[in-house]
Structure formats: C-alpha cells, structure tokens
C-alpha cells in the first residue's frame, strides 16, 4: 500500500517531503509512516481538481458512466472488505467486528448513490405561466469539493462524502484525519484501479492547519464538507466566507436517551449500553445522556451498573473484546478531565472512572467504561460532548420534564426514547429538537435516511437524497419559443 498523497493522478511524497508516524492506539506502536502535506501540496490538489472539473472530463460524462465507476468502487470495497476492516481497526483501535460492519455499509453507500443518480439528476420540466415558453430545472455539480473526514469512522464518513459528490460530477480533494489516514489511502488506490480520470479523486494528508485551512480558504474550492468538532466547524465557516462557498458541517452531539417507566426494561438497558460503548463512545450520536423516569430509576441504574462493570475492554483485534481504546493519549487526557469534572461537580461514580489494570493494556490509550449517577443538566460532563465511554444518568417525573431536559442542549444531532405508549411516541418524537429521533431503539442509521442535526450539530445533511443534493446546484433554464419585440421603448 502507498504511503503518499495522490494528486492529479500521481502518488507524491509532497513538496516538503515531511512524514508522520501512525500509531495503533491499542498498543502505542507505530504501524505506518505516511506523507505529511503542506499548503502548497493542497494548492496542487486544488489545481488538479479544478482542471479536471473545468475541462468537463468528469462532469461532462453521462451520469450513467459516472455511476458505473462509483458502482465499481463499491464492488472493490466489498472485494477488499477484510483488508480494509483490518486497516481500520489497527488505525482506530475499534473492534474488528465493528470495522467489518462499516465495510458492508460503505459498499452499500457507493451502490446506493450509483443507483439513484441517473433518475434524481434528470432535467425536470416546470409549468410555465407564459404562452409559447418552456422552463426546465437543471441539476448540475457544484464543482471542486474539499472533504474533511474525522478519525472515529475514517472510511465510513469519507464514503458519505465521496459517493454523492462523485456521481454528481464533482471533483474532490479528500483530507482524512492526520492520525487515521490508512483506509483513505487504500480507497484512493482502489479508485485509481477502477479508472477514475486524473484529477477527479485527490488525497492530501496532513493536519487541519495547513491542509484543511487551505481547502476552506481557497477561492477555487466550491464546497467544503467537514465532520468534526464545533470549534473547528466555526473556523471553517469563517474561512469559507471568503468566496461564500457552500458548506456542509456535521459537528457532533450530546444525545439524550429517555427511558419511560413502561419501556421494555431489559431491552432498554441493553440499548443504553449499545448507545454509548461501541467504539469506546467515540461516536457523534452516542447516547451518553441517559434520562430515566423516577419510578424505575434505581432498578435501571443498578442493572446498568452491573452490565457496565462486565464489559470486556481489550485490543480491537482480539476475540472477545467488546470495547477498545481511545484514539490517542491526548484524547484520553481530555476524557479523563471530563471524568474528573463529574466527580468535582458532585456526580456519583458507579463504574469505571480509571484505566484498566490489565498489564497487557498499559501501552494503549484505554479508559474503563464509566457510569455516573445523580447527575444534573448543569454539570459539564452532562452538557459537553465527552466523546468517550462515559454515560451520565439524570431522572425525571413527567413527560414534559423529560422532553425539556432532552432539549436543554446546544446540540441537536440525535435522540432516542423508550415507551410502549403509541400516543406518547407521537408526542415526544414531535417535541424533540433533533435531526434523528429513535423510538424504542438507538444509533440506527441507513443510507436512505438523511443524517444531520439541529442547532450547533451542524448545517446540511448527509445520506439519502439530501446527501446528493448537497453536491448539486439547481439552474432554471427558460426558453422563449416565439420571441417578439415588446416595443416598450418604441420601434
């Protein structure tokens, strides 16, 4: 596998020849050394993408031909799924089984957009109120797109951006997280192998500043798509204003999971765990904020405590592991600071809170699955996105109080609630101010449904038809079939 960047159809070590070591978060070992890009490399990639787009070698192809290549890329992901899953687990620390699920989803995402594009991008006639005229709605690609993906789901999140952009006819510059670039390199190799024209798919490796900053600031980039933290999202918004480029931002969440007393108790407990501890809680939609009705609170927390304490923490590549490490030593420090703040603000620690004792895990970036009870919405650990294996429990006595607590957040990505009452299901689903609401389930997504959030969880949507529309411009073409002079200003 290459260790370089891919710019204008060629693999390159970059203008400065800088490199970065990639670390396995489970062991602390260096697993790869890759090129580290700079602003000039990013400018080269923008040049290549700009030339490819403006020449029409990609945007000018019939949609069916673009879709065929996107479909071929999805097939290639399926063919190489085990290799890609292994790379993803080594790079992120997540369990191999979770990475395998991701690869199946990714192949499906490319196929979904390959299948939908031709009919969804077809010209659409508009009824014109003017005699002897025709009006047509035309959908065209936005242009050159910078795509900045996060470290928690490197290839999955990249595919959410790649697939719709490519079928739309855009050219792309991918910037994966600098700490998890391996699957982005590999899928770029697969894109080259299936035959995308030069300059259509570009890959620049490196830190947010300078690489991401150049993509956001450049007046030759037409759209920037970013998934990550709110502070970086704000910076990108400001930088993108220079040429008023389109922006699509997914900025995380602080996601409530409400348990009403009439819920299926055992299933709700199980999904409370599922909602938080996959990938060590490093999920933007993690249901880390549990809100439980008074009458079942004590029993629910007791069972949850028992289950949290039994979670097997270990290396993602080892059989039986249910939760792997955090992504880096720096991120572990951030999560541990949140745990300390919870204790300082009066939350009751019922499970976890430290690092595992297992000697085999001492070189990795592990934190125990952690459970806090007696929490309030004023606590920092409740209000801010921890992005780690930490769950907090609040309590409520009425439906109105539960909804008010859930909505009391700056975020609005996702929420879930559990109840057997059909009327309550309708009321609460409508009342929750989140982009996705799950009823008697949690953390379900699929490519047909749009994904994105309210408030500070971002701008725009990925997946579904909305995910394709992010990469399209709409043009009204008006045709006068019998033009005649008006003679308003005389003849």
H/E stretch holding 23 reads strand 19-23
Catalytic residue among 284, 336, 375, 399: 284
Q: How far is 463 from 318, CA to CA, in rounded Å?
A: 32
Query: Which H or E run contains 195?
Result: none
Q: Active site includes 423?
A: no
* Cβ density class 97-126: b for 16+ within 10 Å, e for less: ebbbebbebbbbbbbbbbebbeebbeeeee
Helical (H) or strand (E) element with 31? strand 30-35
End-to-end CA separation in angstroms for the chain = 72
Q: What is the chain's alpha carbon radius of gyration, rounded to the nearest angstrom?
A: 24
Catalytic residue among 36, 214, 217, 250: 250
120-129 — which CB contacts under 8 Å span 24+ positions?
120/465, 120/468, 121/63, 121/167, 121/168, 121/468, 121/472, 126/476, 128/478
Tokens of 78: 């399926």
Long-range contacts of 329-335 (CB under 8 A, 24+ apart): 329/365, 331/282, 331/365, 331/387, 331/388, 332/365, 332/366, 332/367, 332/388, 334/387, 334/388, 335/367, 335/386, 335/387, 335/388, 335/389, 335/390
For this structure, is 250 an active site residue?
yes
Which residue numbers are catalytic? Answer: 250, 284
């Amino acid at each position: 596998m290459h260790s370089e960047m891919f710019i204008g159809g060629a693999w390159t070590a970059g203008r400065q020849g800088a490199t970065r070591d990639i670390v396995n978060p489970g062991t602390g070992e260096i697993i790869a050394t890759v090129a580290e890009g700079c602003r000039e490399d990013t400018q080269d990639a923008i040049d290549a993408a700009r030339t490819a787009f403006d020449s029409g070698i990609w945007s000018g192809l019939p949609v069916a031909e673009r879709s065929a290549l996107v479909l071929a890329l999805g097939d290639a992901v399926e063919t190489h799924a085990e290799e890609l899953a292994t790379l993803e687990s080594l790079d992120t620390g997540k369990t191999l089984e979770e990475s395998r699920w991701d690869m199946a989803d990714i192949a499906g995402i490319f196929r979904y957009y390959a299948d939908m594009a031709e009919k969804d991008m077809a010209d659409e006639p508009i009824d014109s109120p003017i005699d002897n005229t025709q009006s047509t709605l035309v959908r065209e690609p936005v242009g050159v797109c910078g795509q900045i993906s996060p470290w928690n789901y490197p290839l999955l999140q990249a595919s959410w951006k790649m697939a719709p952009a490519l079928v739309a006819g855009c050219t792309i510059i991918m910037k994966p997280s600098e700490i998890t670039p391996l699957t982005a390199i590999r899928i770029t190799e697969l894109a080259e192998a299936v035959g995308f024209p030069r300059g259509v798919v570009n890959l620049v490796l490196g830190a947010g500043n300078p690489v991401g900053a150049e993509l956001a600031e450049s007046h030759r980039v037409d759209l920037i798509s970013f998934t990550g933290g709110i502070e970086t999202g704000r910076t990108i918004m400001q930088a993108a204003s220079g040429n008023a480029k389109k922006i699509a931002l997914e900025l995380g969440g602080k996601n409530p999971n409400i348990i009403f007393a009439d819920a299926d108790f055992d299933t709700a407990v199980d999904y409370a765990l599922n909602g938080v501890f996959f990938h060590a809680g490093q999920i933007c939609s993690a249901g880390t904020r549990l809100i439980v009705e008074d009458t079942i609170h004590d029993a629910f927390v007791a069972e949850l405590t028992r289950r949290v304490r039994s979670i097997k923490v270990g290396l993602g590549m080892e059989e039986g592991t249910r939760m792997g490490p955090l992504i880096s030593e720096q991120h572990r420090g951030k999560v541990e600071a949140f745990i300390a703040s919870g204790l300082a603000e009066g939350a009751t620690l019922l499970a976890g809170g430290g690092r595992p004792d297992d000697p085999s895990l001492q070189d990795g970036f592990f934190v125990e699955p952690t459970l806090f009870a007696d929490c309030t919405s004023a606590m920092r650990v409740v209000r801010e996105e921890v992005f780690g294996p930490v769950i907090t429990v609040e309590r409520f006595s009425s439906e109105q109080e539960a909804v008010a607590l859930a909505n009391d957040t700056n975020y609005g990505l996702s929420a879930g609630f559990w109840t057997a009452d059909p009327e309550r299901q309708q009321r609460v689903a409508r009342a929750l101010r989140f982009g996705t609401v799950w009823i008697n389930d949690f953390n379900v997504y699929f490519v047909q449904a749009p994904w994105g959030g309210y408030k500070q969880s971002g701008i725009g949507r990925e997946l579904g038809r909305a995910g394709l529309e992010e990469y399209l411009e709409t043009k009204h073409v008006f045709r006068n079939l019998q033009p005649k002079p008006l003679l308003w200003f005389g003849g």
